[in-house]
Amino acid sequence: MAKLWGGRFQKNTDKKVDDFNSSIRFDKRMYKQDITGSIAHAAMLGKQGIIPVEDSEKIISGLKEILSEIEQGKVTFDIDAEDIHMNIEKLLTEKIGEAGKRLHTGRSRNDQVALDIRMYLMEETKEISAMLKHLAEVLIELASEHTDTIMPGYTHLQKAQPITFAHHLMAYFEMIKRDIDRLCDCRRRMNVMPLGSGALAGTTYPLDREFVAERLGFDSVTQNSLDGVSDRDFAIELASVLSIVMMHLSRFCEELILWSSHEFSFVEMDDAFSTGSSIMPQKKNPDVAELIRGKTGRVYGHLMGLLTTMKGIPLAYNKDMQEDKEPIFDAVDTVKLCVPVFCDMIATMKVRKDKMRDGARGGFTNATDMADYLVKKGMPFREAHGVVGRMVYFCIENNKSLDDLTLEEMKEFSDCIDKDIYDAISMETCVNERKIIGGPAKETVKRAIENAKAQLQQL
């Protein structure tokens, strides 16, 4: 097949080069954006008198028919036509004849693909934001059920202080809220129309770029034709945001994997979100959480791939930039695959409140509250820290917890201690006296949940 750009060539490209050069196998997913952009471009060409209005109308009608045929599965794309842009143009010319050859007036595939990928990623970003909002809703709902569920909080994966499961869940809400905000911010920078940049230096035709931008729903147009076709920072930024999303999911999955082990037993995954072993009949594996954790590295890899592809490219367009699509498409696909299954997994898991509470009681998680008690009795904090440290050592040596000690045993370490100590270091007191904004107290977390619901409406 003769190439649409083949006028100055005297021989055909090698078949292996055709296969190597072609991007239709992956950029065909942008058919809707390519056609939508072409319809707006054709309308502008007719309005500006750059091509006859009759040809503009034929082009628009033909493109709409092609869109319908593609969505009905009636179109087979041609690898010899290289990419989605030339496939659509070829189909259009076959359908309406000479008028179809006028569509490419005043544009290049360089600004055309920059347009298509921005439009495609803006739509995908919006869809992922909606998925994350649903995840945020699931976290809020689950937290609302567990404001009284006491569990150990950790630092260095060592038991630190008691919190509630609701407080833990709301930490992830805050992370997901920032992810949504980052996606919106990323989309704002993406929402700039490059069409009209041409190959690199614009065009001599009197294009109405603002007309096309308004038709396509863009906020503005690019202000430099070189920049319009030669950067993919919007794709890199999106890959970065998606990497952060996956990092947050992976951290939670890591906890769920630990918590579902026999040693923790804090949660049990629903059978529908677990798998078994081909050899060990007793096994119930958290494979969904493990796969999400594993796929995080895949998304990270795409971010690094995009950065590496772009780092050495001089202005303006270079064929290297064809390598932008597969990484960002797969990063988008991976996040869209992981978020819904993660939502359903945590919504259906069984939370073992008793095991969480037992976990909080062990490991001296009330030691800080013991020190705070002594401080409120007048002892300097650093001295109180040392006193409680010696008490903890005594407990370890005698296989006891702090609240197992008798009052007489406690007084061996400090005369400041009185019978009110037991209430001061109870799990409920340790949690609910931390009423400061951001703390784990039940009333504070309940306010945080209500605030979260209101914040979600604004996202």
Answer yes or no: are the C-beta atoms of 337 and 372 closer than 8 Å: no
pTM score, two decimals? 0.93
| Residues 212 and 99 reside in one and the same domain | no
Is residue 454 in a domain?
Answer: no
**pLDDT of res. 362:** 87
Among 336, 352, 368, the domain boundary falls at 352
Q: Which residue out of 104, 156, 167, 274 is catalytically annotated? A: 156
What's the one-letter identity of residue 423? Answer: D
Q: 220 in helix, strand or coil?
A: strand
Answer yes or no: are the C-beta atoms of 429 and 403 closer than 8 Å: no
Task: Report d(CA 35, CA 40) in Å as an integer.
Answer: 9
Residue 178's CATH number: 1.20.200.10
Q: What is the CA radius of gyration of the chain?
A: 31
**pLDDT of res. 3:** 59
| Residues 367 and 271 reside in one and the same domain | no
Q: Six-digit token pair at 452? A: 């979260």
Task: Report d(CA 390, CA 382) in Å as an integer.
Answer: 13
| Residues 229 and 123 reside in one and the same domain | yes
pLDDT in tens, the chain (459 residues): 555 556 665 666 666 665 666 788 889 999 999 999 999 999 999 999 999 999 999 999 999 999 999 999 999 999 888 899 999 999 999 999 999 999 999 999 999 999 999 999 999 999 999 999 999 999 999 999 999 999 999 999 999 999 999 999 999 999 999 999 999 999 999 999 999 999 999 999 999 999 999 999 999 999 999 999 999 999 999 999 999 999 999 999 999 999 999 999 999 999 999 999 899 999 999 999 999 999 999 999 999 999 999 999 999 999 999 999 999 999 999 999 999 999 999 999 999 999 999 999 989 999 999 999 999 999 999 999 999 999 999 999 999 999 999 999 999 999 999 999 999 999 999 999 999 999 999 999 999 999 999 999 988
Closest Cα to residue 149, out of 433, 440, 421, 434? Answer: 440
Is residue 220 in a domain?
Answer: yes
| Residues 88 and 140 reside in one and the same domain | no
| Residues 66 and 174 reside in one and the same domain | no
Is residue 456 in a domain?
Answer: no
Answer yes or no: are the C-beta atoms of 295 and 338 closer than 8 Å: yes
Q: What's the number of domains the chain is made of? A: 3
Closest Cα to residue 217, out of 128, 109, 123, 132? Answer: 123
Among 327, 352, 377, the domain boundary falls at 352
Residue 87's CATH number: 1.10.275.10
| Residues 329 and 388 reside in one and the same domain | no
| Residues 170 and 313 reside in one and the same domain | yes
Structural domain of residue 90, as residue ranges? 6-105
b/e for 10-44, b at 16 or more Cβ within 10 A? eeeeeeeebeeebbbeebbebbbbbbbbbbbbbbb
Is residue 156 in a domain?
Answer: no
Q: Six-digit token pair at 114? A: 């920059």
Is residue 154 in a domain?
Answer: no
pLDDT tens for 269-289 read 999 999 998 999 999 999 999
Is residue 385 among the annotated active site residues? no
Residue 436's CATH number: 1.10.40.30
Answer yes or no: are the C-beta atoms of 245 and 125 closer than 8 Å: no
| Residues 330 and 278 reside in one and the same domain | yes
pLDDT tens for 361-401 read 989 999 999 999 999 999 999 999 999 999 999 999 999 99
Q: Which residue out of 261, 277, 278, 414 is catalytically annotated? A: 277
Residue count of the chain:
459
Is residue 245 in a domain?
Answer: yes
Q: 459 in helix, strand or coil?
A: coil
Answer yes or no: are the C-beta atoms of 437 and 428 closer than 8 Å: no
E strand residue ranges, 189-306 = 192-193, 220-221, 267-268
Answer yes or no: are the C-beta atoms of 238 and 333 closer than 8 Å: no
Task: Report d(CA 87, CA 278) in Å as an integer.
Answer: 48
Is residue 277 among the annotated active site residues? yes
| Residues 74 and 191 reside in one and the same domain | no
Is residue 158 in a domain?
Answer: no
Is residue 459 in a domain?
Answer: no
CA dist list (Å): 237 to 172, 184, 189, 249, 363: 22, 12, 9, 19, 42
| DSSP state string for 146-164 | -TT-EEEEEETTEEEEEEE
350, containing H or E segment: strand 350-351
| Residues 343 and 396 reside in one and the same domain | no
| Residues 307 and 176 reside in one and the same domain | yes
Task: Report d(CA 146, CA 167) in Å as an integer.
Answer: 9
| Residues 177 and 276 reside in one and the same domain | yes
> Can you state the percent helix, strand and coil of the chain, rounding each to 5?
65, 5, 30
Q: Could you tell me the end-to-end alpha-carbon distance of the chain, in angstroms, rounded to an integer? A: 50
